[in-house]
Structure 1
Amino acid sequence: MTTNHPDTVTGEQPMGTGSSASLSLASVLAEPARRTPDAPAVLEGPERVEYGELWEQVRRHAAALRDLGVTAGDRVALVAPNVVDFVRAYYAVQVLGAVVVPVPVLLVASEAAHLVSDSGARTILGHSSQLELARGCAERTGANVVTVGDVDPRQRKYDEPSLTELAAETEPLSGFVTRAPQDEAVVFYTSGTTGKPKGAVLTQLNMVMNATVNAFDANDTDSSDRVLGCLPLFHVFGQTVSMNTTFRAGACLVLQPAFDPAQALQLIREHGITQFNGVPTMFGRMLEAAPSDLRLPSLRLCVSGGAALPVSVLERFNERFDTRILEGYGLSETSPTATVNQPSIGTRAGTVGHPLWGVEVEIAEPDSERIELLPRGTRGEVVVRGHNVFAGYLGNPEATRAALVDGWFRTGDIGVRDEDGFLSIVDRKKELIIRNGYNVYPREVEELLLEHPELAQVAVVGLPDPTRGEEVCAVAVHAKLSAGDTDQSVSDRVVEWAATRLAAHKYPRRVVFTDELPLGPSHKVLKRELRDRIIRDEQHASRN
């Protein structure tokens, strides 16, 4: 579908590195539209869009964007939930050879404005449900808002062009702008556990290859599959593994605008979902939402990522849904998938499997300035190299040099590969707790605590301690609270129980209960926020 005459699209020669090689993420949608135009591509509520129809809509949107002044290489912010309009806008930007900057819809305007200003985006595509956030970004950055989707007349307070209306009146472009493999495709902003979030630049090669290898080598997605798209599309996991991988295989994506476990179960039944991709909290909530006496539908394949999935949850979910969860591992900087349990190689519960095709993953000395690879069975920092590794942090050469060393990407995660090559993630270096000089890895403690019948969810953090350096603290959500029980009585039982199952330096001396664990845009538990909250509460209590 690539045009040999880019001037018919943008009036310019294609941007690139001077190489004659070309590659575009737009082809991920263009190819199934050419091969199977009548096959369903996206379902959202009552809306059903086939591949041929979707590709025409995308090219109309791209033509309208071009008329608004967007050209190849421009960065365009996209503020939208999991709706078909996200798909149309996302691929329209790719058709023009421009760059998508996804903005998580859970951010407040001041946070989102950093992404827009740091990326240099001058256009914000704001879905009708997110106009307040999009306009807040525009006010702080000077960027222009272009609305996407049907806008309620009461929302039309500003002189903002409607991409949806313009696209309906515009002739579709004939093809897409050719790009070089190393050209930018998407800029994802990392969660920013320290300082401001950094923009990870992912190239056309990164995005196309990760979708391709996920579809055909790792997950074995088939064109007959129906994939539940409940992971946020503004996040790299949902965008690559759910959306792009599904389209690369010519399968059907069933969108859920915001994850709700009861509704997810209904969608699985209603649409015959065969593949469910999620983060551990989603699998846990699905189990909680499913009545114990209800016969659940079978799922052909499930993929878990984003954080460690407790083995107990994996086993219960596999049994209830007659499925097999393939736990994987990756980061924004690795497009995201770096490793995953792959049936063709072998699977092992509690690990994140083997590297993807064309990707190398090893364990290196964590405290060395250079990459010093360690032997199998040794704990160290996980390092990655291959087609999935990002080009660097946007406008931040110092951070890029720290992350990309000797051709490897330093993940900052602590892991170990066993003699069979399976990778296990022990923890983040940043989350490592050091108590009395001994290392405590939170995941190990969390795995054990989740076996306790009175705990539904657990996050382990380290709190400052004047004598031990740090103390181990578990923040938990009750699974049940019997009559007469208090937080303190349950805490005492959990501490006593854990003390008999963990080494003296590992078990939590404190268990703090909360109604829910704070989650970030990608549904990861915000441990830094938990830690800071406990410290603030203690300081407030001491003053009173």
Structure 2
Amino acid sequence: MVSVLDPVCRHAAATPHTIALRGGADQWTYRQLRDASVRYAGALTAAGLTPGDRVLLAAPSVPEFVVAYLGIQAAGCVVVPVNTMSTRAEAEYVLGDAGCSLTIAWHTLGPAVAEAASALEVPSWTLSPGAMVTGTAPSRVVDRDRDETAAILYTSGTTGRPKGAQLTIGNLLSAGEIGAECSRASSSDRTGTGLPLFHVFGQAAVMMATLTAGGSMSLLARFDPVTMLEMLRRDRLTIMAGVPTMWNAMLHAAGDANPADFAQLRVAVSGGASLPGEIARAFEARFGCTILEGYGLTETTAFGTFNDLDRGGKTGYTGRAVPGMQLQVRDIEGNECPPGTVGEVHIKGPTVMRGYWNRPADTAAAVSPDGWFRTGDLGETDTDGDLRIVDRIKDLIIRGGYNVYPGEVEEVLYVHPDIIEAAVIGVPDDHYGEEVAALVATRPGSDLSAAEVSDWTRERLSAYKIPRIIRFVDALPKGPSGKILKRSIDRTGLTRDPALGDVPVRRH
């Protein structure tokens, strides 16, 4: 019998005064974190919640998120974390779909969650600084089976309504163990992130890994590159975790800093999206640390592959299967592909979800009876067994019968010194079926033209891969983790211009 709180209880007993959490000026030791979580569990139990009940949690990356999250676990309940920017309609959907018995929302959030709870007649609590609860005695930690659901994380819903991925207690504990092993984390490590903890990357790969190793975790409630740099220096971080857009933003905010300014930083863990090689090389040179890319999904509790610390990062690759996990690239008939052949990535192991909440058909389509999960991602392995993610199957562009992988085109765009963000998408075209469109954000003061972007790609890509549509934007839409959201890009007016070839391009 186990609990997600077990690692915290273990360190609270062995090293009670070690710092577990840092949030600005606030610090929480492992003993304080354990005691606060158990008190929170007591309040939940006193309110009538029972093991298995679902509790919606909406809070930024603050220590109190961790207290409430672990308190829900200690009470034997299921946590349902949601984006802090959720609208009332989005919160209402999750509340109804998951059948939540309670909502908990950070005190500075807008009224969306409370209004959704009121509409469905679900009780609502406010999570305040200190995560204090009154009038209840500490609860005992409820032990459960490893295969019981601990959390339900709703996927982004790129097709249809969002689905709730059920992550078990075993999934989360395994993710913590794998994450700690991959980064070789120990109790002396100081990990920092600006990732949202309501997202699987922050929750499993950062929070669970840090608490499993017994180190400290520094949190930013909202990512800002300057503030992240300040936290890196102030807390003397040894490990950072983020997505490519964060590393890019920090590079541009670092000014004349050099590796000596960050001597204690040993590794940066990157995930959430493909890491352009140019950004990786520039970051390692500026910050003097190894940046290692990994690959995983919500349905695999953030883990699948990771680059090895000894070998270092291999540009363009996300590494081999992490300890305890298996990976295969399969063709359309389900046969394993040889190295160098693109197919769909499949993952099996202790972090693969239990299934989608109340969606048996979707679960059966995604997870085979023998435990293999279909990721929906296109990838290939090399002769070393390292995985390269080519693209999402649904993002693949087929132009005139030729396959164009957006990530390959984006990699070329990111190498340009004036381009700081890029997204490549397919748009309908009467002649070719689909046309390649590139949306780019440039550095301040740049006068880069569409013709120059076209020439840049023409020198480096086959003709059918060259963007014939180029639009300049101030910034690209991003999700809560900082990942660029291609589905949110405005495609209005994206048509081909024969001059580039395409229509006249203006800055928007």
| Smaller-chain TM-score bracket | over 0.9
SS of residue paired to 1:430:
helix
CA distance in 2, matches of 1:361, 1:344: 21
| Alignment partner, residue 501 of structure 1 | 460
CA distance in 2, matches of 1:133, 1:289: 33
Equivalent residue in structure 2 for 1:76, among 24, 40, 55: 55
CA distance in 1, matches of 2:93, 2:335: 36
Residue type of the partner of 2:336? L
| Alignment partner, residue 306 of structure 1 | 272
Find out whether 1:393 has 2:353 as its counterpart: no
After TM superposition, list the pairs within 5 Å mapping 1:38-437 onto structure 2. 38-150=17-129, 164-165=131-132, 167-173=133-139, 175-216=140-181, 218-292=182-256, 296-298=261-263, 299-344=265-310, 347-365=313-331, 367-368=332-333, 371-407=334-370, 408-437=372-401
SS of residue paired to 2:118:
helix
Contact (CA 8 Å) 2:437, 2:494: kept in 1 or not?
A: no
TM-score of the two chains, using structure 1 as the length reference: 0.88
Contact (CA 8 Å) 1:229, 1:243: kept in 2 or not?
A: no
Contact (CA 8 Å) 1:518, 1:529: kept in 2 or not?
A: yes
CA distance in 2, matches of 1:36, 1:514: 50
Deviations 1:164-213 (A, max 9, x none): 45x2442212x311111110011111111111110000111111001111
Find out whether 1:446 has 2:425 as its counterpart: no
Find out whether 1:527 has 2:493 as its counterpart: no
Q: Identity of paired residues, percent?
A: 40
CA distance in 2, matches of 1:140, 1:361: 44
SS of residue paired to 2:376:
strand
Residue 77 of structure 1, CA deviation: 0.4
| Alignment partner, residue 500 of structure 2 | none
Residue 529 of structure 1, CA deviation: 1.5
Contact (CA 8 Å) 2:294, 2:318: kept in 1 or not?
A: yes
* Length, aligned pairs only: 495
Contact (CA 8 Å) 1:110, 1:136: kept in 2 or not?
A: no
SS of residue paired to 2:268:
strand
Equivalent residue in structure 2 for 1:514, among 473, 477, 496: 473
CA distance in 2, matches of 1:212, 1:344: 19
Residue 146 of structure 1, CA deviation: 1.0
Residue 493 of structure 1, CA deviation: 1.0
Residue type of the partner of 2:279? V
Residue 236 of structure 1, CA deviation: 0.4
Contact (CA 8 Å) 1:352, 1:423: kept in 2 or not?
A: yes
CA distance in 2, matches of 1:46, 1:36: 21
CA distance in 2, matches of 1:53, 1:456: 42
CA distance in 2, matches of 1:197, 1:340: 27
CA distance in 1, matches of 2:249, 2:119: 37
Residue 533 of structure 1, CA deviation: 4.7
SS of residue paired to 2:422:
strand
Residue type of the partner of 1:32? H
Q: Which of 287-296 and 138-147 deviates more? A: 287-296
Contact (CA 8 Å) 1:463, 1:531: kept in 2 or not?
A: no
Change (3 A) 1:118 1:267: same
Residue 534 of structure 1, CA deviation: 5.0
TM-score of the two chains, using structure 2 as the length reference: 0.94
Deviations 1:27-75 (A, max 9, x none): 1221111111010111112211111111111111110111111110011
CA distance in 2, matches of 1:533, 1:525: 18
Contact (CA 8 Å) 2:291, 2:313: kept in 1 or not?
A: no
CA distance in 2, matches of 1:511, 1:140: 45
Residue type of the partner of 2:90? E
Runs of 4+ in 1 over 3 A off after TM superposition: 293-296, 344-347, 531-536
Deviations 1:112-153 (A, max 9, x none): 221121111120011101251321221343221011115xxx
Residue type of the partner of 1:333? E
CA distance in 2, matches of 1:471, 1:138: 44
Residue 346 of structure 1, CA deviation: 5.7
Change (3 A) 1:201 1:533: farther
Contact (CA 8 Å) 2:423, 2:438: kept in 1 or not?
A: yes
CA distance in 2, matches of 1:293, 1:84: 29
CA distance in 2, matches of 1:285, 1:346: 23
Unaligned 5+ runs, structure 2: 498-503
Residue 348 of structure 1, CA deviation: 1.6
SS of residue paired to 1:320:
helix
Contact (CA 8 Å) 1:461, 1:531: kept in 2 or not?
A: no
CA distance in 1, matches of 2:459, 2:310: 39
CA distance in 1, matches of 2:261, 2:271: 22
Contact (CA 8 Å) 1:102, 1:187: kept in 2 or not?
A: yes
Residue 393 of structure 1, CA deviation: 0.7
Residue type of the partner of 2:148? D
Residue 531 of structure 1, CA deviation: 5.0
Contact (CA 8 Å) 2:145, 2:169: kept in 1 or not?
A: yes
Contact (CA 8 Å) 1:131, 1:147: kept in 2 or not?
A: no
Unaligned 5+ runs, structure 1: 1-21, 151-162
Residue 406 of structure 1, CA deviation: 4.8
SS of residue paired to 2:361:
helix
SS of residue paired to 2:394:
coil
Contact (CA 8 Å) 2:469, 2:494: kept in 1 or not?
A: no
